Amino acid sequence: MQQVLMYSRFERLWHWSQGLLIIALLITGFEIHGTYLWLGFESAVNIHIIAAWALIGIWVFGVFWHMVTGEWKQYIPSSSNKLIAMLKYYGIDIFVGGGHPHHKTRKEKLNPMQRLAYLSLHVGMLPFAVLSGLLYFFYPYWSSIGLSDLSLLFVALVHTAMAFALLAFLIVHLYLALTTSEEPLGYLKAMILGRENE
């Protein structure tokens, strides 16, 4: 095995920027909902709006980067056999010392479960969170653009559901990143330094 540059500088910057902005959105969003009082309602709303526009910006730039570099191929789902092998690994083999069924390479960084998880994040959760957030933000203009029949409650529920989905994704992502590497905090180091064994 040799150490290779697995994650480019852009990938790491994009990853950490998304993570920090999503955390900021979750913290401010739950305060806006009245879950707790920390920053104050007005400050929470202002920070939420700034973080949302920043996330949209880096997300659009990230999609462009993935298309130009061909990295979008990393997210194509694998065969069901490979997915079943990964489920078995995370459900049983990891606890009894079974071997990892996926060999990570620069060309194939993501295992079958990661492919599905990140695909659902970038094609499902984030777009629905962004679209419902934009609808919420532009609510005063709904009647002028023909959306007066749309339910604000429905949009709010979709936005909140996506917040909980993103929170669940974040918790599982952190748990797996911090606990499943062969070396302590190996995946965290790789996402900071960019290098990992191939």
Q: Which residues contact 160 (CB under 8 A, 6 or more apart)?
A: 33
Tens digit of each residue's pLDDT (9 = 90 or more) over 146-166:
888 899 999 999 999 999 999
Contact yes or no for 39/47 (Cβ under 8 A): yes
Give me the amino acid identity at 158: V
Question: In the chain, where do the E strands start and end?
Answer: 3-5, 195-197
How long, in residues, is the chain? Answer: 198
> Cα–Cα distance between 108 and 75 in angstroms, integer?
9
pLDDT score, position 4: 86
CATH code of the domain in which 71 resides: 1.20.950.20
Contact yes or no for 174/191 (Cβ under 8 A): no
Task: Please state the pTM of the whole predicted model.
Answer: 0.87
Q: What percent of the chain has pLDDT over 70?
A: 99
Structural domain count of the chain = 1
Contact yes or no for 115/76 (Cβ under 8 A): yes
Mean pLDDT computed over 39-61: 95
Which 8-state DSSP code applies to residue 92? I
> What spatial distance separates the first Cα and last Cα of the chain, rounded to whole Å?
6
At 195, phi and psi to the nearest 5?
-100, 145
Give me the amino acid identity at 40: G
H/E stretch holding 193 reads helix 186-193
pLDDT score, position 40: 93
* Domain span at 31: 3-197
pLDDT score, position 58: 94
pLDDT score, position 130: 94
